């Protein structure tokens, strides 16, 4: 038995509902390993869960991804040993902690080329970009894509990787200050969403060419207008709700806008099978090694400052990814 520090949520609400407790952590059960965490990833979904938009049974931990070193191994675990460097992104909530027991089949071993910090900022977001670019639509060279929030965590990765695949990526940001970040990630042009006529601005920038795929995780504020940016028979991917839940879409509207396809996918079902999870992670690690996947670390916080980290994320203060050090 060891003690650990872990973030707990006993009610839904503002960042201030997050508190840190010290508690005993039992030895790993059969099939589990104990990870001493060195870097914890922040993801926008953590905000939805803290607010209760995606409700969790209370009390609960929070956070989906972390990297660290295996400290103890439960019975029946053969492919992971004490001392291994590992990371995870789909082991359920509870990553905001300095130690955690994790089912071994939810862990990936980290190659030497991927640091703990890179893993904790890239695994969840990289796995998201991986299925969006390979499964939701297999992106081809020469295709025009529109990526919303291109300066954000997933947005930067999507943009870099799609550009490496030969696509022409237009991005959007919610403030002109993030334009340079989106351009540095590979966008050929960046549209300011403060312009209410931003779909026209996109079409002017693209020379009238609409997007084969629109990647929209903003939701409420953008989804209907995103339909105007997709080419006939194109795909609109609603994969998040940063501004609030997207409105219901009448199928007839998809017909009117050009026989469009609309999908609302999630990273978890794409990685539920352990072998598929490991194969997808290997794809992300290879893309990191090739330099196709990276993200700026926009802000660094201690676990003790988790409230401040959530405030900063909600205020959209930083581009890129936020990193939490235990
Ligand atoms: N479905 C999936 O599988 C999946 C997996 C991972 C993430 N996601 C989604 O992908 C999105 C990006 O995730 P992330 O962790 O990388 O976050 P992020 O992009 O670093 O942060 C979210 C961004 O959304 C933009 N935004 C627009 N309207 C907003 C509003 N009203 N309030 C707050 N932000 C607003 C902001 O960019 P600007 O300031 O440039 O507008 C903000 O930086 C999130 O919606 C997340 O839920 C989905």
State the CATH number of the domain containing residue 144: 3.40.50.720
Domain count along the chain: 2
211 forms beta bridges with 230
Q: Which residues line ligand 1 (CB under 6 A)?
A: 43-45, 125, 128, 149, 151-155, 173-175, 178, 217-218, 221, 239-243, 265-267, 316
Atom 18 of ligand 1 has which residue's CA nearest to it? 152
Q: Are 97 and 66 in a shared domain?
A: yes
Q: Are 252 and 148 in a shared domain?
A: yes
Atom 42 of ligand 1 has which residue's CA nearest to it? 316
Q: Are 173 and 257 in a shared domain?
A: yes
pTM, full prediction: 0.96
- CA-based end-to-end distance of the chain: 19
Q: Are 250 and 134 in a shared domain?
A: yes
Which residue segment(s) compose the domain that 160 sits in? 125-265
Q: What percent of the chain has pLDDT over 70?
A: 100
Answer whether residue 303 shows pLDDT above 90: yes
In a domain, 182, yes or no: yes
Ligand 1 atom at minimum distance from 132 CA? 3
Atom 17 of ligand 1 has which residue's CA nearest to it? 44
Q: Are 181 and 212 in a shared domain?
A: yes
In a domain, 12, yes or no: yes
Q: Are 20 and 71 in a shared domain?
A: yes
Name which of 134, 70, 135, 143 is nearest 102 in CA terms: 70
Rounded to an integer, the average pLDDT of 25-50 is: 97
Among 244, 265, 286, residue at a domain's last position:
265
DSSP code for 209: P
The number of beta carbons lying within 10 Å of the beta carbon of residue 289 is 12
Ligand 1 atom at minimum distance from 153 CA? 16
In a domain, 117, yes or no: no
In a domain, 276, yes or no: no
Q: Are 53 and 183 in a shared domain?
A: no
Ligand 1 atom at minimum distance from 42 CA? 15
d(CA 300, CA 321): 9
Per-residue pLDDT tens for 103-144?
Answer: 999 999 999 999 999 999 999 999 999 999 999 999 999 999
Q: Are 153 and 224 in a shared domain?
A: yes
């Amino acid at each position: 038995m060891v003690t650990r520090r872990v973030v707990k949520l006993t009610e839904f609400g503002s960042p201030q509902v997050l508190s840190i407790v010290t508690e005993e952590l039992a030895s790993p059960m059969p099939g589990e390993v104990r990870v001493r965490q060195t870097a914890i990833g922040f993801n926008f979904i953590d905000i939805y869960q803290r607010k209760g938009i995606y409700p969790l049974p209370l009390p609960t931990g929070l956070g989906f991804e972390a990297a660290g070193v295996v400290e103890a191994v439960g019975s029946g675990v053969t492919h992971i040993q004490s001392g291994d460097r590992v990371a995870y992104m789909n082991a359920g909530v509870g990553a905001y902690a300095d130690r955690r027991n994790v089912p071994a089949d939810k862990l990936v071993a980290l190659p030497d080329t991927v640091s703990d910090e890179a893993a904790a900022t890239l695994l969840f977001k990289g796995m998201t970009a991986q299925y969006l670019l390979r499964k939701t639509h297999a992106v081809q060279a020469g295709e025009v894509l529109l990526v919303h929030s291109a300066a954000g965590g997933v947005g930067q990765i999507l943009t870099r990787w799609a550009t490496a695949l030969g696509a022409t990526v237009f991005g959007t940001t919610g403030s002109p200050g993030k334009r340079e970040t989106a351009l540095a990630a590979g966008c050929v042009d960046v549209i300011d969403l403060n312009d209410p006529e931003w779909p026209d601005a996109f079409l002017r920038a693209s020379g009238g060419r609409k997007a084969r795929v629109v990647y929209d995780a903003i939701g409420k504020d953008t989804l209907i207008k995103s339909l105007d940016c997709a080419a006939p028979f194109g795909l609109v991917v609603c994969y998040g709700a940063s501004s609030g839940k997207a409105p219901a879409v009448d199928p007839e509207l998809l017909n009117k806008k050009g026989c469009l396809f609309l999908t609302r996918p999630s990273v978890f079902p794409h990685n539920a099978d352990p072998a598929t999870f490991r194969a997808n992670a290997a794809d992300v690690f290879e893309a990191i090694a090739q330099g196709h996947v990276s993200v700026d670390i926009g802000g660094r916080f201690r676990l003790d400052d988790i409230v401040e980290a959530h405030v900063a994320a909600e205020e959209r203060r930083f581009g890129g990814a936020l990193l939490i050090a235990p």
